[in-house]
Structure 1
Amino acid sequence: MLMRQPTGNLQFTYQPPFGATVQDGGVQFSVFSRSATAMRLLLYNKVNDPEPADIIEFDRDTDRWGDVWSLSVQGLNPGQLYHFQASGPWDPENGQRFDSAARLIDPYAQALAGTFQKGDDGVVRPPKCVVVQDDFDWEDDRHVRRDLSESIIYEMHVRGFTRSRTAKVKCPGTYLGVIEKIPYLKELGVTAVELMPVNEFPILDIWGNSPERPNYWGYDPMAFFSPHRGYAHDKRPGAQVNEFKTMVKALHAAGIEVILDVVFNHTCEGNENGPTLSFKGLENQVYYILSEGKHYSNYSGCGNTINGNHPVVREMIFHCLRHWVHNYHIDGFRFDLASILSRDRGGNLIPNPPMVELIAEDPLLADTKIIAEAWDAAGAYQVGSFGNHRWAEWNGRYRDDIRGFWRGDGGTLGALATRLAGSSDLYQHAGRPPFCSINFITSHDGFTLNDLVSYKDKHNMANGEDNRDGDNHNISDNYGVEGPTRRKGVNTIRARQVRNMLATLLLSQGVPMLVSGDEIRRTQRGNNNAYCQDNDISWFDWRLVEKNAEVLRFVKALTQFRKNQPTVRRTSFLTGQPVDGRLISDVSWYSDDGHPLDWNQHHLSMVAYIAAPSRVEDPTGQGRDMVMMFNSTGDDRIQHLPEVGRGMKWNLFIDTAAESPGDIYPDIDGPMPPSNRQVSVPCHSLKVFVSGRVSNRRRK
């Protein structure tokens, strides 16, 4: 009789075909280079050693297989430090930039150690690669596998989340520091953290000096397969690997997924004036998109552009994603400037780009969430048309339309309704569901939510670029005073607007994304481009948890409501038609007087009636009807509860104009509407009523 062999704690691991692979008695080193005439392996004893202890030459006859250089070195162990060094043609006019003196980071390096080292010989000494053995004890950890439609994403910076003294953690600014704050994340109600770049990027400049403007955000990749050493508490080579895995394991134990922000669009090597650190010195014309065969195309805005649809680069990205998913148990990816992956080797946007399709169809990535920032720095804008149904997108249209409506911009009511209902204009035509829309109002790039309602203009002087950097189109307002103020009237409107946008975000169809700190009104003092601010401008200020506890309470109640209510997280689009035999349409729109809304009028107020979903989407019958009353005008309004809800029991859930605790009723036990069904909705505010259990749709 055949018996199934129990797997116990065995884990599926993935070994990329290149890089350093630990074998019995030694290490196998493999690297791609088509045009190199010679390849060397540099071995170091210590992190701070400026020169290698050993140099091993690859034999062209026995150590080269096609375009792959590969050799096995006996006697080496995990923790070994190394670089590659390649000789070849120096012919920039034809895209070749070999430098036989350059120490090169292995493109498949699984960890780096140290920083750039100072030297007086003109040779750049980058961080050293570390040989890594995958022997982490995951115990019974698995991917969480939560449906994207049920997700609430929290964008955060690993270092900034706990770097402030106010965090009061043992390991500030590290992967382990995040673990200490998991109880906060769990109580907040988010289901996934989207980590700003955690793959390796430079800490010091190429000469070992502190840069004038450090890349705090991390959008400057140096080694795609390596977790950033700067976020490790233990500074020993390779320690970041286990610490990162420990963080993922702890987040999973709390039911929180981990999504990585990955930057497969450029590297830190820059343009022709930049250093040779890795790709340039191995096969420049393969790894980068070049114009006229020599100049770096700059679709990323960062000096160069990864050649994502070249087969060799495509394979590297493919292996990298698998590596993070199966060796680090990562649950998904957000692709920075993802439209670059839609460009061919000449930089042209192409339909059905191979890289985009490969990511969507790869069987080993089938459990992961894949999210595109569907634009790039060269004018491509593909929101609503990026990839197939497997791809979700940061919905930039949602951000702009919600900001515009609550600011009081004319002609935005229809846009509000469309975004609230899941952006069918962008996704339905392609057969994509509402949860392909990742809804956000703020992100790391731009104003925080607090600053969005406190500043009309950016204030980026601290960045040292004379306030030239950062977006000028913020769709923000200060409501009478630029920046902090003691004027009660201004602060009252700002508080309402914060609640308005938080409520809109968490009650919209699609998937909401919060930015770390927005739930406690974190400020960057008007800086809308804090990429270089590794200080309290960017760091999470934990004192605000207590100071702005009312807003935090508001968000917690919203996340809990969203989890409980399939009414606001449908997997199919609203149609305006009745469902389950009810006479009530799944969504209907009304003017203040209770009549059907005339979309040709330039209103800034309306009433939305959203019915509980069908039995298919809500088999347990937990869904409730909702009435949302919007007023973004400067005047108080009287709005009528729609007649379609007459005879049902209604309770106030949200009143953004009220002081806490009257701004939200977590148990949906707020006051009932007036008997005449006429509700006062103050200026710049939102009221939400929720029905009792909808039972008649369960009749057979």
Structure 2
Amino acid sequence: MLMRRPTGNLQLTYQPPYGAIVQESGVQFSVFSRSATAMRLLLYNDVNDLEPAEVIEFDRDTDRWGDVWSLSVSGLKTGQLYHFQASGPWDPARGQRFDSSARLIDPYAQALAGTFQQSTDGVVRPPKCVVVKDDFDWEDDRHLRHDLSESVIYEMHVRGFTKSKTAKVKCPGTYLGVIEKIPYLKDLGVTAVELMPVNEFPILDIYGKPIKNPNYWGYDPMAFFSPHRGYAFDQTPGAQVREFKQMVKALHAAGIEVILDVVFNHTCEGNEMGPTLSFKGLENQVYYLLHEGQHYTNYSGCGNTINGNHPVVREMIFHCLRHWVHNYHVDGFRFDLASILSRDRNGHLVPNPPMVELIAEDPMLADTKVIAEAWDAAGAYQVGSFGGARWAEWNGRYRDDVRGFWRGDGGTLGALATRLAGSSDLYEHAGRPPFCSINFVTSHDGFTMNDLVSYKEKHNQANGEDNRDGDNHNISDNYGVEGPTRKKGVSTIRSRQIRNMLSTLLLSQGVPMLVSGDEIRRTQKGNNNAYCQDNDISWFDWRLVERNQDLLRFVKSLIAFRREQPSVRRLDFLTGQPVDGRLISDMSWYNDQGDPLDWGQHHLSMVAYIAAPSRSEDPSGKGRDLVMMFNSTGEDRHQQLPAIGRGMKWNLFLDTAGDAPNDIFPDLDGPMPPSNRSVEMPCHSMKVYVSGKVAVK
């Protein structure tokens, strides 16, 4: 139901039809269960109460409407704590796992309070649900609606961004802590933060004890509609709702969008051995994909798989997305292991999955960005074929090809050129534009940029799994020393390689995603799977802002250039054909001698010429011609500027082998090329020259 509230400027809010709905006289509680034989509402007075203060039985005759159990309780207010409890058949062979003693989290709970409580009677007592009323004053806040093509995304962890003492904030590790660091994000120049999961996930284990390997990343959902209470500074039940909204509002005021990483592929209830916390105890065979009626399929790699294309679950996901968009003003979503949404109720991949299509077509989500991690843990890999033009994708091919080229792997030049030009091989055939490609070299999952050039092998011993966890295929190198070193030659190459990959990322067609801390060489000490490291291994070390200020300046200048230059963020694919009003091609490729490149040769160096867009594409007329020069070999070379640039004024923009501040020239006033147009290219380096203003009709 949609309502307008006279609070500040009028705002559109969204009320899902299930969960706890605040009314004038009390609260209405509604929950779906097809197979339950009885339903109870447990009400608590305090977050620490082991037992409910009151138990209210739903009447099967008057409180059940089809498969929905619903009753109103007068006198209740915002902040009321509750659980559901359901009786029904215990028949695992047929997918039924009702437990009449289980305390169940409302699937539509808008906030949780407390944590799992220690038990002596074997009953699992999960965090309590909180009745929430949407009464936040958004003033004039609205979705920012930045064009995806103009976006620069910054993937970050809410807690890890400010939890370190080095952050020197008043509210470390919280939504409010993020607000304190908005000036840094704004100065960096990113247009959106992509937050690792902020919906509820377990902090302690199901018996109230510390978890051996806690899921610091948050990819272990427990309540999809609820902001994580662990990121709230105020521990009053429901305070996380207010503080999350304060964070979004403040980010929007700074011109920064908020994208949520959502995990609609599994829950923390696990497989047959896992606890009954919510979905299992309400309608197990509906919410999960089951094999032979009883065993949980594991396409997520986390024990179970959400049955996303069942109508009831599909409805829940839609209500959830709308809830975050209209009640929290978030600007988009990144769907973790999104290929699971392409699986039908038998687990088979289908060509036009209804869930994927409905998300793309839902009018209430029309202003949002939708980004897929287009693979899952069961072998599905749909990069380039997920959804349609409405969907963008994490481009895993981009990551691998850029890493391989700069490491010096043979046969990667053509792949690098394709990625630089927007991955037309993946997207053009489906009528999808270049900005459907979310380009990244690193993400939360894997090495940081610093570690990518410092370690050949993963070092995950701190995770307690004998270094068995984490991906073994990292496409990384250490350049002679594993880990930190004082050897100047090794350090020099590492510094160049970081600049090479960041430059490639931020100058490629498509949408760049930068991982929090890569701009200041954050390290995880070789850990490529730090999912359980809620400590200095994962936290942002703010001392590095000063220590690596030259790299930070380099990245800020690159981001500013990208946002200013339409030449590197085209709306359509480059064609190799002449630009309107000019005789030169929009993109052309050359060898070291300045001749057209022979793609049959296994080069590891090349020169790319990108022409400014036509005035129809670039009404501002800000576009410049670019010459990008790449040398990923271990040898110094000379490269010839292509003949088509003769007669134009050129200035060096960046030189990854240059010493700061001569590694980048933000005002585009770097040195001109040699008069003979032969440019020295040190090993493992990249240079970019920028033309003067181009007269394009």
TM above 0.5, yes or no, is: yes
SS where residue 392 of structure 2 aligns? strand
Q: Does 1:332 align with 2:325?
A: no
Task: Confirm whether residue 605 of structure 1 aligns to residue 605 of structure 2.
Answer: yes
Q: Does 1:96 align with 2:106?
A: no
Q: How far is 1:25 from its partner? A: 1.2
Partner of 1:107: 107
CA contact (8 A) 2:7 2:139 kept: no
User: How do 1:175-324 residues align onto structure 2 when only pairs under 5 Å count?
Assistant: 175-324=175-324
1:626 shift after superposition: 0.1
Is 1:669 the equivalent of 2:690?
A: no
- Name the structure 2 match of 1:578: 578
User: 2: CA distance between counterparts of 1:581 and 1:533?
Assistant: 56
Matches within 5 A, 1:422-441: 422-441=422-441
CA distance, structure 2, for counterparts of residue 315 and residue 439 of structure 1: 31
Match for residue 482 of structure 1? 482
Corresponding position of 1:133: 133
Following TM superposition, by how much is the alpha carbon of 1:10 offset from its aligned partner in structure 2, in angstroms?
1.2
Instruction: Indicate how the Cα distance of structure 1 residues 42 and 7 shifts in structure 2: closer, same or farther if over 3 A, else same.
Output: closer
Q: Which residue of 2 aligns with 1:517?
A: 517
Q: Which residue of 1 aligns with 2:151?
A: 151
Q: Distance in 1 between matches of 2:380 and 2:37?
A: 38
Q: After superposition, what is the alpha-carbon deviation per residue over 1:115-141, rounded to whole angstroms, capped at 9, x for unaligned?
A: 000110000000000000000000000
SS of the residue 2:27 aligns to: strand
Aligned to 1:629: 629
1:539 corresponds to 2:528: no
Residue matched to 1:694: 694
AA at the equivalent of 2:458: K
SS in 2 for 1:532: coil
State the distance in 1 between where 2:644 and 2:443 align: 38
* Equivalence map 1:41-52=2 (5 Å): 41-52=41-52
Query: For 1:608, what is the secondary structure of its paired residue?
Result: strand
What CA distance in whole angstroms lies between the structure 2 residues aligned with 1:7 and 1:357?
A: 35
**SS at 1:176 equivalent:** helix
Whichever residue aligns with residue 361 of structure 2, its letter is: E
Q: Deviations over 1:450-479 (max 9, x none)?
A: 000000000000000000000000000000
Q: Distance in 1 between matches of 2:42 and 2:355?
A: 33
C-alpha deviations, 1:561-596, integer Å up to 9, x for none?
A: 001000000010000001112011000000000000
Match of 1:354 in 2: 354
C-alpha separation between the residues in 2 aligned to 1:386 and 1:7?
40
Which amino acid letter does the alignment assign opposite residue 479 of structure 2?
Y
Instruction: Quote the Cα distance in structure 2 between the aligned partners of 1:523 and 1:6.
Output: 48
How far apart are 1:616 and its partner, in Å? 2.2
Deviation at 1:7, TM superposition (A): 9.4
CA deviations over 1:304-348 (Å, ceiling 9, x no partner): 000000000000000000000000000000000000000000000
- Three-state SS of the structure 1 residue aligned to 2:427 is helix
Q: 1:445 deviation in Å?
A: 0.2
The TM-score normalised by the length of structure 1 is 0.99
After superposition, the C-alpha distances for 1:215-262 in whole angstroms (9 at most, x for unaligned) are: 100000000000000000000000000000000000000000000000
List runs of 5+ in structure 2 lacking aligned partners. none
Residue type of the alignment partner of 1:71: L
Amino acid at match of 2:654: I
Partner of 1:396: 396
CA distance in 2 between counterparts of 1:421 and 1:619 reads: 22
Q: Offset at 1:6?
A: 10
CA–CA distance in structure 2, aligned partners of residues 637 and 143 of structure 1:
49
What is the SS of the residue equivalent to 1:13? strand
Give the letter for the 1:672 counterpart.
Answer: M
In the TM superposition, what whole-angstrom CA distance separates every residue of 1:379-406 from its partner, at most 9, and x where no partner exists? 0000000001000000000000000000
| One-letter amino acid of the structure 1 residue matched with residue 211 of structure 2 | P
The alignment status of 1:548 with 2:548, answered yes or no, reads yes
Query: What is aligned with 1:449?
Result: 449
Query: Which residue identity is paired with 1:388?
Result: G
Letter in 2 for 1:613: P
**Structure 2: distance between partners of 1:300 and 1:6:** 43
Distance in 1, Cα, partners of 2:7 & 2:678: 63
- Give the residue type in structure 2 aligned to 1:397: R
What is the CA–CA distance in structure 2 between the aligned matches of 1:223 and 1:206, rounded to whole Å?
A: 15
Instruction: Check if 1:83 corresponds to 2:83.
Output: yes
**Corresponding letter in the other structure for 2:400:** D
Distance 2:654 2:561 in 1: 11
In 1, the alpha carbon distance for the partners of 2:93 and 2:212 equals 32
Could you list the per-position Cα deviations for residues 459-517 of structure 1 after superposition, in whole angstroms to 9, with x for gaps in the alignment? 00000000000000000000000000000000000000000000000000000000000
Q: What are the superposed Cα offsets for residues 529-588 of structure 1, whole Å, 9 maximum, x if unpaired?
A: 000000000000000000000000000000000010000000100000011120110000
Q: What secondary structure sits across from 2:43 in the alignment?
A: strand
The 2-side partners of 1:216 and 1:278 are apart by 21
User: Percent identity among equivalent residues?
Assistant: 85
Residue deviations 1:343-387 (CA, integer Å, cap 9, x gap): 000000001100000100000000000000000000000000000
Instruction: Report what 2:166 is aligned to.
Output: 166
- One-letter amino acid matched to 2:61: D
| Cα distance in 1, alignment partners of residues 380 and 559 from structure 2 | 34
What is the rounded CA distance, in whole Å, between the counterparts of 1:489 and 1:262 in structure 2? 43
Distance in 2 between residues matched to 1:601 and 1:581, nearest whole Å: 33
Letter in 2 for 1:72: S
Look up the match of 1:25.
25
The one-letter code sitting in structure 2 at the alignment partner of 1:110 is: Q
Q: How far has the Cα of 1:8 moved from its partner?
A: 5.8
What whole-Å deviation, never above 9, does each CA across 1:273-296 have from its counterpart, x for those lacking one?
000000000000000000001100
In structure 2, relative to structure 1, the CA distance for the partners of 1:621 and 1:7 (3 Å cut) is farther
Structure 2 residue aligned with 1:63: 63
Q: Distance in 2 between matches of 1:291 and 1:247?
A: 42
Match of 1:492 in 2: 492
What's the TM-score, normalizing by structure 2? 0.99
Report the Cα distance in structure 2 between the residues aligned to 1:71 and 1:9, rounded to whole angstroms.
33
**RMSD, aligned CA:** 0.8
Residues matched between the structures, number:
693
Partner of 1:659: 659
| Contact 2:8–2:137 (Cα < 8 Å) also in 1 | no
What secondary structure does 2:258 align onto? strand
- Per the alignment, in what secondary structure is the counterpart of residue 12 of structure 1? strand
Q: Distance in 2 between matches of 1:118 and 1:68?
A: 32
One-letter identity of the residue aligned with 2:640: H
Query: What letter matches 2:449 in structure 1?
Result: L
In 2, Cα distance between equivalents of 1:88 and 1:7: 44
Cα deviation digits, residues 82-114 of structure 1 (max 9, x gap): 000000000000000000000000000000000
Amino acid at match of 2:402: I
Q: Report SS of the residue matched to 1:20.
A: strand
Q: Could you tell me how far apart the structure 1 residues matched to 2:439 and 2:674 are?
A: 33
Q: CA shift at 1:620, angstroms?
A: 1.1
8 Å contact from structure 2 (residues 638, 680) kept in 1: yes
* Counterpart-to-counterpart distance in 1, 2:637 and 2:194: 39
1: CA distance, partners of 2:629 / 2:253: 39
Task: Give 2:569's aligned residue.
Answer: 569
Q: 1:639 to 1:519 in 2, by over 3 A?
A: same
Matching residue's letter, 1:227: P
